[in-house]
Structures are given as C-alpha cells and as structure tokens.
C-alpha cells in the first residue's frame, strides 16, 4: 500500500527522521489497518520509506526502513541482532546483568523497548506498528538471546494515543515471581518487574549512580526522588557518612530498605522519608539544614516541549532550594529526564536557580543516559536524560 505526502513534507524523511505526522499526508485513507506496512511516496512519486501505519495517532506513520526491502521476520531479526551485538561490544554485561537491549527508534525498531534483567526480558510495546509485530519480535528475542521468559509491560499512557489498551503479564515462558534481584556495579538491587516503574528499574541511570556514588565518601547526602535507592545504595557503599532518602512512594522505600540489607550496608547511616520533595526542601530551608551532597532525580515534568514552561519552573524551584541547602564545597547532582527540556535549557534553568539562590557554582560533569540507551543521530528525541554535577563555591 502506498501513501503520498504533500509537497515539501518529504524533508524530514530525507533527513532520516522516522516520524510522519498526519498533516503531512495528501489524503488519509482510512482503510489501512492499524500497524500495517505502507510505502511513503513523495508528491513527485519517489519512494521515501517503508513504515508502520497508525490510524489513531498524530504520528501517523513510523519508518521501519528507508530502503526498498521487505518488512518481515528476517528484517526484525537483523535489527535485533544488531542491537544485541552493540551491547556485547559495549560489554554492558560486565557492569550489570540488567540493561537495555533494544531502545526503540534508536535501535531501528520504533515502539519497542526491551530490557534484560538476568535471565528474563521485559518488553514494552507502545505503537501500532510495534503491536502488529509484537508476537514475531517475542519469538525472535527467544531465538536470538536464548532467553525463554519474557514479561510484557505495555502499560504506558502513550499507548492511548495509538488507540491501544494497556497490557501487562507473561508474554513467553513462565515467570512465577515478578520480584527478582539484579546486580549493578557489584551492588544488588531487588526489583519488581510487574509493579516497578518503567520496566522495573531506572536502567538509564546506572553509570550516573556509580559516578555520583564515587563522590559521596564522607559526605552527608540528601537523595531526593530516591525510588528504590539507586543513588543511596551507591553512596552508602562508597562510605557516605549519612544518607537521607526521600520519595513519595512507600513501596519504593520498602524496596530501598531491603536493598540496604541485601548489600550489608550500615542501616544506621540511612534514613528513609516518605513525603513530597517540594515541601521537604522548603521545610529544611526554614530549619537551616545543610548537606554536603544533594541528588535531584525527579520524574518527567515535561513529556513534550508543550510542557516545558511549567516544567522549567518546577526544575528551578527544586534546584534553587537545593543550592540553598548545600554547604560551601557541597555537590549537587541534578537530573532531568524530560524530553521537552533539552540539555541547553536544563543548564540554563540550573544556572538561574544558582543565581536566585545567590550561589556561585561550577559544573564538574555533564551526565547522560547509559550507552545501552543509544541515540540515533537522526532521532534526537531518543536522548532524554541529562544531568549536571555542580560544586557550590
């Protein structure tokens, strides 16, 4: 099946960006089935790409290939093999038995995320096209990795935009217990692939947890938005004098306490606090509390650029308070995983927070998502995590 684009709307495809918006099509033929493969043709009749059609989404088509090649099981085998080979080359397994095997568009498979947790895989399908090929992809994952057990966590809001309902549960094999233990940089973490955030763990922060942990020795640390304690465990393991971990989720904090125990870390140096970070930072400011290191890893405030302004205020708010609470020479490790706030804007927000806190600060490191979450040069949206380590001067 062929769909013709309006004149001039082939430009983004010629730059190899994989998304085509509904407004780019000359006419929208409603007979294309959800997820079916269509050829995208320029107004001058030139073949541009082969894509998955999504009748309900504003992103009406997502490109599988810019070549004139069949989209079939062997096509996906090739993509999956490439993704696995890249992770082998990166030797991610030497650092952790939990890592991202397939990162959507950036691995050439829009809509598919696959994370490996030890001897099982968690798959997330978010688009009409990925849903269409999901069973084939599940079979291929077993054939290409040798791993028999796959859990599905297709329960993200964006599926609604594609006209898809949430789906969770065992996709292949048997997974009697969704709670499992992984090892990251020699530290153990309990995770729950059925109820945890994302596919169970924030794998994208692995290297940053390690990096920030290494700077925590002898420091009193405030870890805001701690989830199951990724940064707290690394800080304690590296000899932090004390760690206060804050999150609004009681379930996350319960796992954090377990994670401290299974790593034999000194529980007497750790305190969990269940509550709202925005309120707590204000309370600490009013009490003149201070810390040597503050970590801010909030949830996505701006999923898209449309939310950037409101998100910017929230980022500024917490960073300003953090700068106030830091001792002279203290470190702020601050992150944003919002696609709608790019690295340059994030740095500006942090700078204006320091200014309003009347603080001098320098950046000692720019951080990003781990290399098992690669970013296609033609799909900058694949890069979403940015972080700065700043020192208060």
Decide: is 202 part of the binding site for ligand SAH (CB under 6 A): yes
Say how far apart CA 153 and CA 146 lie, in whole Å. 20
231 binds ligand SAH (CB under 6 A): yes
How many binding residues for ligand SAH (CB under 6 A)?
Answer: 20
Is there binding between residue 219 and ligand SAH (CB under 6 A)? no
CB-side neighbour CA atoms (13 Å) of 286:
6
| 248 in contact with ligand SAH (CB under 6 A) | yes
> In whole angstroms, how large is the CA radius of gyration of the chain?
22
Q: Which is nearer to ligand SAH, 19 or 301 (CB)?
A: 301
User: Cα(235)–Cα(243) distance, rounded to whole angstroms?
Assistant: 7
Query: Dihedral (C-alpha) 239, 241, 244, 245: value to the nearest 10 degrees?
Result: 0
Segment interacting with ligand SAH, rule: CB under 6 A, options 69-77, 150-158, 294-302, 321-329: 294-302
- 337 catalytic per annotation: yes
Closer to ligand SAH at the Cβ: 75 or 202? 202
Q: 174-187 burial, b if ≥16 CB within 10 A, otherwise e? A: ebeebebebebbeb
CB-wise, 220 or 228, nearer to ligand SAH?
228
CA distance 259 to 192: 12
- Beta-ladder partners of 19: 62
Q: Is 283 in the site for ligand SAH (CB under 6 A)?
A: no
If the CB atoms of residues 5 and 296 are measured against ligand SAH, the closer one turns out to be 296
Kindly list the distances between the CA atom of residue 14 and the CA atoms of 8, 19, 266, 341, in Å, as whole numbers in the listed order: 11, 11, 56, 26
The stretch among 84-92, 137-145, 292-300, 323-331 that binds ligand SAH (CB under 6 A) is: 292-300
Pick from 64, 297, 308, 385 the residue near ligand SAH by CB under 6 A: 297
Among 299, 306, 360, 393, binds ligand SAH (CB under 6 A): 299
Closest to 347 (Cα-Cα) out of 297, 301, 389: 389
Report the catalytic residues. Answer: 337
Site of interaction with ligand SAH (CB under 6 A): 202, 205, 209, 225-228, 230-231, 246-249, 252, 276-278, 297-299
């Amino acid at each position: 099946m062929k769909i013709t684009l309006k004149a001039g709307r082939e430009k983004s495809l010629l730059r190899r960006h994989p998304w085509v918006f509904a407004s780019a099509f000359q006419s929208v033929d409603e007979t294309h089935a959800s997820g079916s493969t269509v050829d995208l043709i320029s107004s001058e009749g030139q073949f541009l790409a082969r894509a998955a059609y999504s009748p309900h989404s504003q992103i009406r088509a997502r490109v599988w290939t810019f070549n004139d090649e069949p989209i079939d099981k062997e096509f996906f085998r090739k993509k999956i093999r490439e993704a696995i080979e890249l992770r082998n080359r990166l030797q991610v397994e030497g650092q952790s038995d939990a890592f991202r095997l397939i990162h959507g568009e950036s691995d050439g498979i829009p809509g598919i995320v696959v994370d490996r947790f030890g001897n099982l895989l968690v798959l997330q399908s978010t688009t009409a096209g990925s849903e269409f090929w999901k069973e084939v992809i599940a079979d291929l994952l077993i054939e290409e990795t040798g791993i028999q057990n796959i859990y599905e966590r297709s329960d993200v809001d964006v599926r609604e935009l594609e006209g898809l309902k949430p789906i969770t549960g065992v996709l292949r094999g048997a997974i009697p217990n969704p709670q499992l233990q992984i090892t990251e940089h020699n530290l153990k973490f309990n995770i729950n692939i059925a109820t945890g955030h994302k596919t169970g763990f924030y794998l994208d922060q692995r290297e940053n947890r390690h990096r920030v942990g290494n700077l925590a020795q002898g420091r009193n640390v405030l870890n805001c938005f701690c989830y199951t304690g990724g940064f707290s465990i690394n800080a304690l393991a590296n000899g932090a004098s004390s760690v206060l971990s804050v999150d609004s989720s009681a379930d996350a904090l319960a796992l954090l306490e377990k994670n401290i125990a299974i790593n034999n870390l000194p529980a007497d140096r750790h305190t969990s606090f269940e509550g709202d970070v925005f309120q707590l930072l204000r309370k600490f400011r009013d009490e003149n509390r201070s810390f040597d290191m503050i970590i801010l890893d909030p949830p996505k405030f701006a999923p898209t650029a449309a939310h950037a302004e409101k998100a910017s205020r929230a980022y500024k708010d917490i960073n300003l308070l953090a700068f106030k609470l830091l001792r002279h020479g203290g470190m702020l490790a601050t992150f944003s995983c919002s696609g709608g706030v790019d690295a340059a804007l994030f740095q500006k927000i942090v700078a204006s927070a320091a200014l309003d806190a009347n603080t001098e600060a320098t950046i000692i490191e720019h951080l990003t998502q781990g290399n098992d979450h690669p970013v296609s040069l033609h799909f900058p949206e694949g890069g979403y995590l940015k972080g700065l380590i700043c020192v208060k001067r």
